[in-house]
A and B are shown apart, each in its own frame.
Chain A
Amino acid sequence: MTLTNTTRRTFLTSAAALGAAGFFPGGVGMLRAQEGRVLNLRLDGDNSILDPGYMVGGTEIEAQKQCLPFLAEYVRDGDTFSWQPTAYVTRLEYVDDTHIEFELAPGLVWSGGHGTLKASDVAYSYARMKDSEWSGYFDALETVEVTGELTGTLVLNKPFAPFIMVTLCHGPGAIVCEAATEAAGGRFTTEFPAICGPYTYSATPGQRAVFEKNPEWTGPAPGFDRVVCHVITEVQAAELAYEAGEIDCTELGPDSLARYSKEMPENTAITTAGQLQYMWMGMNTQHPKLQDIKVRQAIQHAVDVDSILAGAFAGTSAKSHGIVCPGLLGARSDHGYTYDPAKARELMAESGVTGLELTLRTLNWQERLLTAQIIQANLAAIGITVNILPMESGPFWEMGMEEAGDTWQDLELWIMRFATVPDPYEATQWFISGQVGIWNWERWTDEEFDSLYDEGLSETDTAAREAIYVRMQEIMDATGAYVWINHEPETYAHKTSIEVVAAPSGELNYHRFKPV
């Protein structure tokens, strides 16, 4: 046995060499370059619950898309979104309004010796989803009939046109391994009990999640051998990391999007995933100060939305014409009022209301406050005094709910933003009569709107559905309770050497990324 004597001199020499290795700028990078094609991305927090039934959402869906089977996936068709069957199925089609048949691809193996992917896994997964925290996505599903080892039929309890787009393509549509999930006690959190996808998954909490090529995967090969997702909670920190070359793709905030649009960093491209958020200023139609529709219409005509888009959002978001977001069925290119201060003053004069003072409530976020200030100036021009009330998210999100107290009675104006899914039905559901006092804080009801909502769910003809959602937004315009503001995009900056694939709601799908 040879003993190595460590003298003070050898210690110092070793420490210097170690330090030099660590500080040498190219050292680590060169080592990494030898490991194969590595994609470095951002994760906005630790994945807490990977179980599709109990997940929080967001990046947990991203992880599921790499490791669990799905029957359908989003595909972009120009400016609109549609769906296509995934590599996990050889067939997925509507046979009638309430039956969707599928056939799984043969030979796809679950990890951990749990056998192949079977139709019974699909039935098990969707049955447990009906009892989960995401059960709302499966309200329309009656059952999954297993007709063979690889074949089955999704039976809907009523015609529900958006089922594939909203449920099967999205996170809740993930399929878990029945045997492995039951062995894990029926639920799981930070580890998949079994995977069947292009990548394996491991995570170091607070630091990273790593996706490695799954050696058992026989489907289409992913574009990268390894995907390292670094936990970076702050968007601005992620942008700096991107500019330092440490990650290959990151989400951009509105300020950075404007900066990048003016001066694009070298070898950088921008991809917009979708614009599935809609912001508006709402008015309480039952409030004594706003009961007169002429006052509400005057406010609609008085707000200069173009100034808001330029001043508060640096021109990075799309002007809104209703609750249906761009790219979706029923999205409009115009709406029922225009910015016309003269018309607004005329309407105020007709109403006979003078010296009106209103309170505008908003979340205390920078762009919302800027929006509120512009609205304040616009309404001052027609003689309405607006007091801005910035709020924390806690009280803000329950101020219109009757069960949360009496604040709903004092609500006058507020700036609101909802996120939605790639089908117009979801956005319309919050404004039906049953939602008054829950999410319909404008507190109007309309029988035609309610019946159109039901028709939209079951209508399968595209043109007819489009007409339904356009009409529903016209009804909303006519209440005078809305000033449509914008649709903020989910935007990603990435190296030109990679092609980014994201769901309309912004979740990245790493295995569909390609090196260019």
Chain B
Amino acid sequence: MIPYLTKRLGLAAIVVMAVLLLLFSMLHMIPGNPAILALGTRATPEAIAEYTARMRLNEPVVTQFFHFLGNAVQGDLGQDVFSNRPVTAIIAERIGFSLALICTGMGWAVLLGVPLGCLAAVRPGSWLDRVTGIFSVGMIAIPSFLVSIWALLLFSLELRWLPAIGAGEPGDFADQLSHLVLPAFAIGLGWVGYLARMVRASMLEVLGEPYIRSARAFGLTPRRVVLGYALRVAILPTITLIGMGFGGLISSAVFAEIIFSRPGVGKMIFDAVSDRNFPIVQGGVLVATCFYILVVLISDLLIAWLDPRVRSSL
């Protein structure tokens, strides 16, 4: 397990480096003077010069990159161009909202998608299987931003059941929970379909295995066969999918955060790109990348823990 973990961590570091290098290159390929873009067209020459020096824009890109990397390793992601606040503090204020949204979105998708997939696999060809199939494909096909807009129009504007904007009153848990419902619904809906399809396909494969037939022959109840033996194996590829899904939800969450005006890392990066606030963009992307890598790593380790065959192949 330790060599595997070491290898994965090394790979993660290379991925982070590659992402940052790509990001740096992209930011410096944007046409126009970054100082004018950030400060506005009527900025004074003194302000532009001060900004250029402060952001080290007059240094070679490679120097800037390694300077950023060196500071990032020490936990310093730079300062917000406008407020001069530390980027780490700004990210810390928002990451909780993103994690709450992503976990809730994926949470309800798992709670609904996995049982739906199981039920469909246990009764293949039944009306439940067909309905699940149709709805799963439908859920996957609808983009999350469209679900966000539709949910907002229906539940906030028309019915007025749930709030349309924000993350709720600080300290008021019920209010914050009610503000989480629509965005989490919007970003999780597609994943209900993905998970249901994935679990169904895996379950159908596993249910045809000889050991399942043996379990049935031993007289185990269908519930025990499905939940105790088949699902434990069928869930393995789903865990990988969920791990990757957490990463994907970071980008889906951007739309939900914009449409519902929720604070979050995705929206923070989006706003920073609009404002050409490059330190925030760099810090935000670094954190999002690390989060993605971490989740994928955890899901891989979880699979290795659950499946002795994976462990033995390391």
Contacts and interface: CB of A to CB of B under 8 A. Distances in A.
A44 to B, nearest CB: 10
B164 A207 contact: no
B167 A237 contact: no
B83 A240 contact: no
Interface residues of B, number: 51
A233 B170 CA distance: 20
B175 A404 contact: no
B160 A25 contact: yes
Given A48-B80, A48-B83, A392 B160 contact: no
Interface string A384-414: 0000000011110110000010000000000
B8 interface: no
Interface string B243-270: 0000000000000001111011001100
A207 B36 CA distance: 28
Interface in A230-251: 230-234, 237-238, 240-241, 243-247
Given A48-B82, A233-B258, A18 B165 contact: no
A36 to B, nearest CB: 15
B25 interface: no
Nearest to B47: A133
B104 interface: no
B161 A25 contact: yes
B165 A246 contact: yes
Contacts of A404: 33
Given A205-B90, A397-B36, A398-B36, A241 B164 contact: yes
A118 interface: no
B165 A21 contact: no
A22 B174 contact: yes
Interface string A432-468: 0000000000000000000000000000000000000
Contact of B160 (A18, A206, A244, A398): A244
Nearest to B93: A205
B156 A244 contact: yes
B261 A231 contact: yes
A190 B153 CA distance: 34
Contacts of A22: 173-175, 177-178
Contacts of B41: 397-398
Contacts of A296: none
A101 to B, nearest CB: 31
Nearest to B277: A48
B259 A237 contact: yes
Interface in B71-128: 80, 82-85, 90, 93-94, 97
B113 to A, nearest CB: 21
Contacts of A189: 83-85
Contacts of B169: 28
A395 B161 contact: no
Contacts of B174: 18-19, 21-22, 27-28
Interface string A162-206: 000000000000000000000000000110000000000000111
A237 B261 contact: yes
A49 B170 contact: no
A190 B157 contact: no
Interface string B151-173: 01100110011111111011011
Nearest to B181: A23
Contacts, number: 127
A240 B163 CA distance: 11
B209 interface: no
B170 A19 contact: no
B44 interface: yes
Contacts of A234: 258, 261
A472 B77 CA distance: 51
A45 interface: yes
B261 A205 contact: no
Contacts of A208: 166
A56 B181 CA distance: 35
B268 A206 contact: yes
Contacts of B59: none
A28 to B, nearest CB: 5
B205 interface: no
Contacts of B30: 392, 394
Contact of B156 (A207, A231, A240): A240
B166 A230 contact: yes
A238 B157 CA distance: 12
Contacts of B157: 240, 243-244
Contacts of B90: 205
B271 interface: yes
B102 to A, nearest CB: 16
B175 A28 contact: yes
Contacts of A238: 261
A35 B103 CA distance: 33
A395 B85 CA distance: 29
A48 B268 CA distance: 13
Given A25-B161, A240-B164, A246-B164, A49 B93 contact: no
A269 B160 CA distance: 21
Contacts of A133: 43-44, 47
Nearest to A396: B32
B10 interface: no
Contacts of A245: 160
B32 A395 contact: yes
A237 B258 contact: yes
A208 B165 CA distance: 11
B31 interface: yes
B154 to A, nearest CB: 11
Nearest to B270: A233
B271 A207 contact: no
B94 A49 contact: no
Given A18-B174, A22-B175, A133-B47, A398 B32 contact: yes
A392 B31 contact: yes
A404 B268 CA distance: 30
A21 B174 CA distance: 6
Contact of A231 (B47, B84, B162, B263): B263
A206 B37 contact: no
Contact of B165 (A56, A230, A394, A398): A230
Interface in A1-47: 18-19, 21-23, 25, 27-28, 45-46
Given A28-B169, A231-B261, A397-B32, 19 more contacts: A18-B174, A18-B177, A23-B162, A23-B181, A25-B162, A48-B83, A49-B83, A204-B170, A206-B263, A207-B167, A207-B170, A232-B261, A233-B267, A240-B152, A244-B160, A245-B160, A394-B30, A397-B41, A404-B33
5 contacts: A133-B43, A189-B84, A204-B170, A206-B264, A240-B164
The 7 closest A-B pairs by CB, nearest first: A394-B32, A206-B263, A48-B82, A22-B174, A48-B83, A22-B178, A244-B164
